[in-house]
Each structure stands twice: as C-alpha cells, then as structure tokens.
C-alpha cells in the first residue's frame, strides 16, 4: 500500500487511565491507517477504547490519562508527542471532531450564528463581518440546512437533533480539515434522520475530499457508509479490511461473533448467536490475547502472548493465532 495515500497513521498506541480503582489499560497497541478520501469505520462495543482513540489523536484525553507510547502521524508529521502549543494548530484545523450528543457540544446561551462565526474567525483570514457571514451561509448550505439566514438567529434548543448535528458538522468543517473524527454521530438520532446524515457524510467525502474516521458500534451504518473497517476489542484492533471483505469473509473470531449476533429479520425463527461471557475488565486484562477467555477457537498460544495484527490477505489484516476455518454463513 503506497505511503502517499495515507493521511493519518496510528501506530502502537498505548494509553492508560489512572483511576481510584487502579490503572485501566485502555489502549493496548492500537494501530490503523486512514487514507485520503476514505471513510474508515472504527467499530467496537462499549469499553473497547474506540472513543479514547479518537480523543488521543486530538490530544484531548482526560487529566488522569497517560500516553505510554505510540505514534500518530498526520501527513508525515508526528503529532502525538508535539507540545501543546503546536497541537493547537492541528486541533480543529487539520483534524476536527464531532460527538454523539450535539446538544451538549453547542453552547445553549448563544445563537447558532455567533457560534459558527466565532469559529470561522479563528480559522479564516477574512475579518470583516460580511465575508464571514457569507462564509457561514456557505457552510450551512454545505450541510444542507435550509434557510441559513434564519438558522443563524436560532438557539440550539430550537433546532431538532438532526439539525444540531448538521450545525456541528458545519462548525467542524469550517476550517476545511483533512480529517473528520465522528464519534457516534448518529447514535442519538432517529433512524430516518440518521439516513439523511449518512447520505450527507458520503457526499461531503466526495465534494470536499474529506477523510472520515467514523467511530461507532452500529454495524449496519458501517456497512452502508464506510470504505474500510477496523474492528476493535478491549483496547486493540483485531481485524481490518475493506468493508466488503469484512462482511463477506470475517477472519477473527470476535468479528464473526459480532456480526453473527446482529438481529435482523432474516434470522426469524432461529436462535440468535451470541458471544458468551462479558467484556473483560481493563483493570486486570487477560494475559495474551484479550479475547481468548470468550473464544471457542483459543489455543495455548493465545493465553501466552498477544497476536500481532498481520496482513493475512491483500489489505486484510487480522490478529489471531487460530482463525476459524468454517465457511462464513452470513453474507
């Protein structure tokens, strides 16, 4: 895979959280790449560390975190170990982020217009009111909000969830970033509104040449939207490949278990698959492969050391010593 194609490269990221209960080994060697003009889905269940990964990239982890090691390379530039005053130039400029609950990301006491203009002032050379207003209107139209003029005068609580999220996208994209990190952007929204936003995201990727790191637990959304997927479990990536490959031929037992347990009408009348056991506590994670206690394919090696993420087939990576050989049933 040519290196010029890679926009962001996360390598061997290890992050701990220091809590009252002890040290939580949240990220244990996370590694993946986001290419230019692609939507990469970072998929996992609660507690797997996907949100922490997004926060780590932008260096906005909470105070009790510790970046033990790792590298984050943005267009050849290492940013994980930069000083705070340099990271400021990346945050919100080259990499932007939107979160799950737009209502808490927007300031309830200021109208949308002011919030958007404030951000535009920071990221653009133009300083006069008129050109900034015009720019604001453009951004709002870009996220397909009707009637930008009146939207600017409204307060966040006067907008619906879907519209708030669009405003967040407009604010995030006001600096024309290279990468947008979206952490569960549609999870709190209705399914019909979600559909609208997914279509919009795809469009923006095309028109702006934007790359998106989409963090979610919704496999349906990633199948629709993402070009490639990275599956995360208990702090590390267990599998990554093109979307089609993941769904047509998942290699890692966790991926198989995860996709198998999604409930749809096609399974009507059948007993549902599930992954036995529960997600391990990251205070005292299992030794070796963190999935092995729940894995029906576990062998001795799995208990001793963590399998590396290796390229099994062209572009298809998996971290497993004993991948299932049975044909995949759910295509």
Pick 209 or 277: Cβ nearer other proteins: 277
Best CA proximity match to 143, nearest among 185, 105, 86, 104: 185
279 in contact with other proteins (CB under 8 A): yes
- 293 vs 100: CA distance, rounded Å: 31
55 in contact with other proteins (CB under 8 A): no
**Is-contact 16 24, C-beta < 8 A?**
yes
Pick 63 or 314: Cβ nearer other proteins: 63
Answer positive or negative: Cα dihedral of 159, 162, 164, 169.
negative
**Contact with other proteins (CB under 8 A): which of 85, 127, 207, 278?**
278
Pick 12 or 45: Cβ nearer other proteins: 45
**Contact with other proteins (CB under 8 A): which of 268, 314, 327, 329?**
268
- Cβ 198 to other proteins shortest distance, Å: 7
Task: Strand 6-19: give its sheet, edge to edge.
Answer: 22-35, 6-19, 65-74, 77-78
109 in contact with other proteins (CB under 8 A): no
Footprint of other proteins on residues 218-247 (CB under 8 A)? 218-221, 223-225, 247
Best CA proximity match to 122, nearest among 98, 80, 97, 89: 89
- Interface with other proteins by CB under 8 A: which range of 13-21, 69-77, 100-108, 125-133? 13-21
215 in contact with other proteins (CB under 8 A): no
Pick 13 or 214: Cβ nearer other proteins: 214
- Cβ 159 to other proteins shortest distance, Å: 9
- 162 vs 183: CA distance, rounded Å: 15
- Which alpha helices (DSSP H) does the chain contain, by range? 50-57, 84-87, 102-105, 112-123, 129-142, 148-151, 161-172, 191-208, 219-225, 243-248, 253-260, 300-304
Best CA proximity match to 47, nearest among 199, 289, 318, 234: 234
162 in contact with other proteins (CB under 8 A): yes
Answer positive or negative: Cα dihedral of 111, 115, 118, 123.
negative
Pick 42 or 219: Cβ nearer other proteins: 219
191 in contact with other proteins (CB under 8 A): yes
- Cβ 144 to other proteins shortest distance, Å: 10
- In this structure, the strands spanning 39-43 and 6-19 are unpaired
118 in contact with other proteins (CB under 8 A): no
Pick 98 or 226: Cβ nearer other proteins: 226
- Interface with other proteins by CB under 8 A: which range of 99-107, 147-155, 255-263, 312-320? 255-263
- In this structure, the strands spanning 65-74 and 95-98 are unpaired
Record the tokens describing residue 281, joined without a space.
């506590």
DSSP 32: E
Relative orientation angle of helices 191-208 and 161-172, to the nearest 10 degrees: 20
- Cβ 312 to other proteins shortest distance, Å: 22
Cα-Cα-Cα-Cα dihedral of 182, 205, 167, 126, to 10°? 120
122 in contact with other proteins (CB under 8 A): no
Binding mask 66-105 toward other proteins (x if CB under 8 A, else -) reads ----------------------------------------
Pick 77 or 147: Cβ nearer other proteins: 147
- Cβ 1 to other proteins shortest distance, Å: 25
- 117 vs 211: CA distance, rounded Å: 24
Answer positive or negative: Cα dihedral of 15, 315, 184, 237.
negative
Residue numbers at the binding site for other proteins (CB under 8 A): 18-20, 45-46, 62-64, 160-163, 190-196, 198-199, 217-221, 223-225, 247, 257-259, 261-268, 271-275, 278-279, 330-331
């Amino acid at each position: 895979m040519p290196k010029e194609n890679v926009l962001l490269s996360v390598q061997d990221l290890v992050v701990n959280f220091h809590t009252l209960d002890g040290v939580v080994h949240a990220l244990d060697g996370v590694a993946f790449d986001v290419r230019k003009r692609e939507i990469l889905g970072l998929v996992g269940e609660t507690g797997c560390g996907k949100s922490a990964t997004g926060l780590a990239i932008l260096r906005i982890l909470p105070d009790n975190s510790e970046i033990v090691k790792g590298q984050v390379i943005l267009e050849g530039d290492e940013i994980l170990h930069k000083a705070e005053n340099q990271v400021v130039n990346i945050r919100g400029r080259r990499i932007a982020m939107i979160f799950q609950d737009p209502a808490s990301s927007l300031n309830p006491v200021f109208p949308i217009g002011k919030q958007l203009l404030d951000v535009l002032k920071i990221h653009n050379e133009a300083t006069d009111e008129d050109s900034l207003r015009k720019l604001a209107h453009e951004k709002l139209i870009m996220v397909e909000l009707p009637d930008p003029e009146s939207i600017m005068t409204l307060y966040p609580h006067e907008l619906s969830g879907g519209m708030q999220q669009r405003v967040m996208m407009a604010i995030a994209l006001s600096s024309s970033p290279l990468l947008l990190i979206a952490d569960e952007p549609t999870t709190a929204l209705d399914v019909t509104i979600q559909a609208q936003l997914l279509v919009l995201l795809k469009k923006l990727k095309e028109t702006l040449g934007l790359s998106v790191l989409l963090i979610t637990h919704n496999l349906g959304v990633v199948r629709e939207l993402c070009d490639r997927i990275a599956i995360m479990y208990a702090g590390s990536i267990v599998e990554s490949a093109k979307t089609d490959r993941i769904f047509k031929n998942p290699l890692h037992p966790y991926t198989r278990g995860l996709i198998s347990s999604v409930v749809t009408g096609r399974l009507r009348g059948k007993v549902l698959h599930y992954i036995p056991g529960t997600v391990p506590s990251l205070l005292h994670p299992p030794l070796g492969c963190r999935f092995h206690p729940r894995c029906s394919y576990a062998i001795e090696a799995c208990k001793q050391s963590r399998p590396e993420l290796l390229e099994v087939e062209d572009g298809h990576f998996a971290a497993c010593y004993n991948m299932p050989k049975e044909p995949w049933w759910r295509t």
